[in-house]
Structure 1
Amino acid sequence: MPGVEALIEAFADRILLRPRHDLPNLVDLAGAVARLCGVDLKLTGHAEDMVEAIGAADHLVLTLADGVGMNMVETLPEDSFLPTHLHSDMLTVFPSTTSVALTSLTTAQWPAEHGVMGWWTYLPEMNGVATILQYTDRGTGADLMKRGIDPERTFPVKSAWSRMTRDGLVVVPERIKDSVYSNYFNGGLKSFGYKSLSEAVNVVSERVLNASEPTFTYLYVPRVDSLAHLHGMARPEVLQALVELDNELSRLHSAIGDKGRMVVTADHGLLDATAAQRHTLRPNREIQPLMISPPSGDARVMYLPTWSWAGDRMRRYFDRRFGERFAVIDLEEAIKLEMLGPEPPSDVAMQRLGNQIAISTGPDMLEYNAARGPGRMVQLNCHHSGLTPEEMRIPFIVA
């Protein structure tokens, strides 16, 4: 079965892409944006280059188009807005998923530092796994606020946006405007909940045109990602949403003209998974005794909290059941490869990780489900959080 040697070989052949702090990446962009908005923080050379590429502007608009990685941008006609203004591509963080990437965006730190490890993150204080963006218990759906789980403990690294000196506004879909995670992510900035993308663009353009002081505006657009999960990447609904996004951002650019600067990026790309490539891991007599607590992670990465004596047995189980579809590596090996960032994991991150990590070597995904019937994620047609180029490559667009 594939192990760390197979991963290293896949990285060398660029079949899979390892997160790299020595190449332009999402954390660099996060630092560049924060610096341009008055936050005093140390930047890498790549982040300094991004500051120069974006340039000085009284009004900065950062759009994060969820799921619109390079493989989606490259489907658009060359004369479309996004390809026309593409500065370069860069790498996202691992796991390549929204909860992890957005936390890196707002903190300008790697996952190993901020401790949000996936869609499902193990929280020792609840001795269980949280669905982190929804801020609920994965197993029961219970509201973690009602259970007394303090967000300041869950998200120990404060948003760098709280230190911005510009007038800031976060523009997100109305349904998530006041969520626990949004309130953390915003770093104290004002927020606006939109009902349609056209409304959001109108709000942002009017804000820039009428501003009397320097501004920072963040626009989050999840529609392409949401539709791709349901239907698959190539369906007309998804492509239509991508074209709408391109058209609306072009309209925003035309509206604000030379009064502002736009930056567009993504949290991750997307990769379809057929029914045969979607798997469920259930507690059973063979693997349950091997684990200290339930696994966590995401669609294409699973943190396995195995006992110290159980690593070989867990590897054999994965080998027998999944063959080449997943690589099981020790946490120490992942740290050595700097997969979660260039620095060793913080104490918080270490408490949330397993002793082993199962990583998809391609499109296959795996959901842990202790309940009867199929889980929600295994029913979706498109996923992310893995290491494939489709998931790891994201755009750096400046207009």
Structure 2
Amino acid sequence: MNRILSLFRGASMADLSSLCPDAAWADYQGGGLLNLMQTLSRELGGPDLGHAPLASAALAGIGRHRHVCLILIDGLGAAQLASLGPDSRLRAHQRETISSVFPPTTAAAVTTVLTGSAPAEHGLIGWHQLHGEEIIAPLPLYARYPASRGGGEQRRADTLYRARPLFDRLGRPAFLYLPDFIAESPCSRFHAGRAPRVAYGGLADGFAQLARGVNGAGPAFHYLYLPQLDTLMHEQGPDAAAARALLAEIDAHFAALLPQADACDAAMVAIADHGFVAAAPECWADVDADAELYGLLALPLSGETRLAYCHVKPACAERFLLLARERLGHACWAVRSRDLLAAGAFGPGPQRPDLARRCGDVTLIAKPGWNLRDTLPGEKPLRLAGVHAGVHPDEQAIPLIVRRP
């Protein structure tokens, strides 16, 4: 955990630390998700992605196995695994705690897994983000602002996705097992590249499809994406009894697969994209409730409820920053977005040309327990029981689970 809490070096990190005390930032130097993908790619005969390898030896030699399976359990942070599944088989095979990326959210982290590139490179940095003249959701590809009636998803995908898919560049065939409701989406089609996508209908079917995969001719790489726990924890919270029960179900499927994995020489790796924190209903800051502050914005908020990108009207950035610190200081840290970029918060590698524009002028980083929102005409105020994408350690820390034959 200490690696996760102190990851940047030099003056830039000191500046951010003074603004956001005890914040957990992503580790890109050897202890994070990006480094895991660098090591996994090299182990499986894929490209050198140009990033530091994983400092841990947890994946050393894993490419010698006939099959390698990567199971991504969306939202299963290290804290959630410890609290919801302390006696689980998944926990028993946890080798390390590593960091996610910044921000620790599905759009940024899963895209890092699928491309082997940092958020700075692939450019997907929140559930909502500025793209062209729209604020869109980069995964389902709808427009939040200006509001659209649907359509345009493929048009947005064609101009949004730029990072090259990784799995079809590995030195062995790759298969992606995806929920049937996203398997044919523009996002899935692009990021799978030439690798086959296998749609599944539920948890049991997902693991059954994976079992059939490892029983086939090898060597091969298999990627199983499980979004179910994330969905439930958003709705009911990370400490809900239903979350505990769902993790137990996932764990039972994982355990049941192990004998076949042994027989087929399949190494099992399980990770998450991010963790979670609870969202108290009384700790939502409505940024649009302050007419003076909100009136300085040229666009609605983008990003996440735990991390909001603010695009400010010309010549108003410093005024907005001052007012945000005065009036929202109980709920968030207000930082210049350029400082996040200069500090390398979004990771190494060549930055997307439009990354700075997507980050806006000011970023509001929610303090522990708090969330930020605005509500546009036609929207209902957002209410979630569990959230992520901020700088709390429980959002950033994820487990690295490795089980070899």
- What is the TM-score of this pair, normalised by structure 2? 0.89
| Pair 1:222 & 2:230 matched | no
- What is the TM-score of this pair, normalised by structure 1? 0.90
Q: For 2:282, what is the secondary structure of its paired residue?
A: helix
Q: For 1:286, what is the secondary structure of its paired residue?
A: helix
Percent of counterpart pairs with the same letter?
24
Contact 1:21-1:342 at 8 Å conserved across structures: yes
Which aligned pairs between 1:260-271 and structure 2 lie closer than 5 A?
Answer: 260-271=266-277
1:95 to 103, 113, 116: 103
- Runs of 4 or more off by more than 6 Å in structure 1? none
1:47 and 1:105 mapped to 2: Cα distance?
Answer: 17
Which aligned pairs between 1:383-394 and structure 2 lie closer than 5 A?
Answer: 383-394=387-398
| Pair 1:66 & 2:74 matched | yes
Which aligned pairs between 1:136-215 and structure 2 lie closer than 5 A?
Answer: 136-139=142-145, 140-145=147-152, 149-209=155-215, 211-215=216-220
1:286 is displaced (CA, Å) by 1.9
Query: Counterpart of 1:35?
Result: 42
2:19 and 2:290 mapped to 1: Cα distance?
Answer: 31
Q: For 2:329, what is the secondary structure of its paired residue?
A: helix
Change in 2 beyond 3 A, CA 1:53/1:7:
farther
1:9 is displaced (CA, Å) by 4.1
Unaligned runs of 5+ in 2: 1-12
Query: Cα deviation per residue 1:145-196 (whole Å; 9 max; x = unaligned)?
Result: 36x6242320111212231232221111111111111112212211122112
1:318 is displaced (CA, Å) by 2.1
Contact 1:32-1:43 at 8 Å conserved across structures: no
1:27 and 1:218 mapped to 2: Cα distance?
Answer: 16
Query: Counterpart of 1:18?
Result: 25
| Pair 1:116 & 2:119 matched | no
Amino acid corresponding to residue 106 of structure 1 in structure 2: L
1:291 to 285, 288, 297: 297
Q: For 1:138, what is the secondary structure of its paired residue?
A: strand
1:81 to 69, 78, 89: 89
Amino acid corresponding to residue 236 of structure 2 in structure 1: H
Q: For 1:28, what is the secondary structure of its paired residue?
A: helix
Unaligned runs of 5+ in 1: none
1:344 is displaced (CA, Å) by 6.3
Contact 1:91-1:394 at 8 Å conserved across structures: yes
1:197 is displaced (CA, Å) by 1.1
1:151 and 1:62 mapped to 2: Cα distance?
Answer: 25
Q: For 1:269, what is the secondary structure of its paired residue?
A: coil
Amino acid corresponding to residue 394 of structure 1 in structure 2: I
1:50 and 1:155 mapped to 2: Cα distance?
Answer: 31
**CA RMSD of the aligned region, Å?**
2.3
Change in 2 beyond 3 A, CA 1:77/1:113:
closer
Query: Counterpart of 1:273?
Result: 279
Change in 2 beyond 3 A, CA 1:55/1:256:
same
Query: Cα deviation per residue 1:242-296 (whole Å; 9 max; x = unaligned)?
Result: 1111111111122221510010000000001111112333387524552333331
Contact 1:295-1:305 at 8 Å conserved across structures: yes
Contact 1:385-1:391 at 8 Å conserved across structures: yes
Q: For 1:253, what is the secondary structure of its paired residue?
A: helix
Query: Counterpart of 2:257?
Result: 252
Change in 2 beyond 3 A, CA 1:363/1:344:
farther
Corresponding residue pairs, total: 388
